[in-house]
Chains A and B, each alone.
Chain A
């Protein structure tokens, strides 16, 4: 079965005052129905821009320079804006980190949810309201009937994110792209949201791309993981495999940096240096400068090669081929 979403060699560039910035550089990934893909990376790795590019949400000075995004057999790049609008919110939905990016502060939740249904479906207002009520209940909002008439400011942060998720899922999309939706939330609320998302994906068979910097969240949620560094995917494979035996030195370094993993040792194994500026990227592997395994060969950009069941972009991977 062909995957639901197939991204190949996606390149997204931003024209800045200091030159052309390649935020996403040749990213290829795919997601099947019912699958959860975790897209992991630190700030500036291009993970969010990848998500925006899939939806065609890159505004000037940014542009998708090349590559292809095939969704359910249809090429999305170059698709006219009105066609994209039919897809967004209907078949592909996005959940943002800040729910206030999705919610309009001066409209009631009811207006916003009903509008989302009517924009894509030929339904009556009453039916749309029914659907809104049902969704609010599904994301775990107590007494949805009384909450529906309220405005976003009357909800807590966690509740707002639930409403944003309810709106994203209201048209039963085939693909949900979630960009750090729980980062701003408290752990107990995050646990609830993860629970709801997991349940909704399982029930509806939607595909989910979960963009985050938090490896621990990915560990609990994702089937597959793609790790990004400086605009490129450096490792991609089954979540269990990647997190247990990372092949790329950067993935290894990230895992070692997480304090909970090192509770016994008093010093964290750290990655030296910092993420390189995308504007002044030296040739070759972008992680070279911080990598303890780096050698002269790393001056040539390694290809994303298959090692067992996963893809690794490294000349000296930590697992044998």
Chain B
């Protein structure tokens, strides 16, 4: 059953001209508004209970897509549906979607006690009343592996891993069905990261949660996800079940990405880099965005953008190589 669906969703950010530039334009200078297509006609669905990993490098639009998924940003085109209805119409009710942010230092209000950080949203939404807050928060803290006695403390009194747990408790407080985790473990040390990843998996089992797990770390995504969506410069280039994606990546970008990931079992290897750098999203290459770096690029790759097509059951890829 589909829980969340992106339907040809796009998000453009436009930088407005400042006063001087507007004046210069009036004088005939060649200045135009610049616009970034952060997310470009993305379509995919997340089923209930599924963990979908969203990977890509910086600037590929994965965080923007995450924010679109929970309504923090409005789409420029297309729509997001949640449980069959457009997300935009579901505003104001208890949000069944919650987001966990990357930086556990910046996403907790330093002037609020943990009890208020975690307890505010469920009270505002009328899930609990004032007298229940203490007990409710204590239960949540225990659920994420924190001592209930910490409720009176402020965020600065916690380590990075504990703050990540507070962020998770805050997200769980309104009993969400769907969690968007935006690089939720990226700021943590390896040993702490392992603890938090285990917590995510336990919670999934206990609460039947659905995740959109955004990460640049392919190891984390491989470990946690059922399905992986790969993005490059605003577009989805490949969607596949995790095991298949890592075994036989189809898109040349996915292949390159997997090849670049350092692995412990590849010792003293000779690094053979992919050529070039990610193009600026302000001026993406024509046609397939990946063609300037692609070892298999053909003339038509710079002329037209390949569409995401189903190449096998459950596997989608946007590459002309599949059409031969």
Contacts and interface: CB of A to CB of B under 8 A. Distances in A.
Contact of B257 (A187, A214, A260): A187
Contact of A259 (B191, B192, B220, B271): B220
A268 B199 CA distance: 10
Interface size bracket, A side = 35 or more
A239 B273 contact: no
B261 A260 contact: yes
B277 A159 contact: yes
A145 interface: no
A256 interface: yes
A257 B307 CA distance: 38
B30 interface: no
A141 B300 CA distance: 28
Contact of B268 (A239, A259, A266): A239
Contacts of A189: 57, 277-278
A253 B192 CA distance: 11
Contact of A194 (B193, B267, B271): B271
A257 B191 contact: yes
A301 to B, nearest CB: 21
Contacts of B195: 270-272
Contact of A257 (B194, B216, B259, B274): B194
B261 A42 contact: no
A183 to B, nearest CB: 11
A254 B268 contact: no
A46 to B, nearest CB: 14
A43 B260 contact: no
B266 interface: yes
Nearest to A268: B194
B262 A256 contact: no
A266 B249 CA distance: 22
B324 interface: no
B190 interface: yes
A263 interface: yes
Nearest to B58: A186
A194 to B, nearest CB: 5
Interface string A165-202: 00000000000000000000011111110110010000
A29 to B, nearest CB: 19
A195 B260 CA distance: 10
B218 A260 contact: yes
Interface of A: 42-43, 156-159, 186-192, 194-195, 198, 213-217, 219-223, 239-240, 243, 253-263, 266-272, 274-275
Interface of B: 57-58, 159-162, 189-195, 197-198, 201, 216-220, 222-224, 246, 256-257, 259-274, 277-278
19 contacts: A43-B189, A187-B218, A191-B260, A194-B262, A213-B189, A220-B263, A222-B268, A223-B268, A258-B190, A258-B194, A258-B219, A259-B217, A259-B222, A261-B265, A262-B223, A266-B201, A267-B198, A268-B194, A274-B191
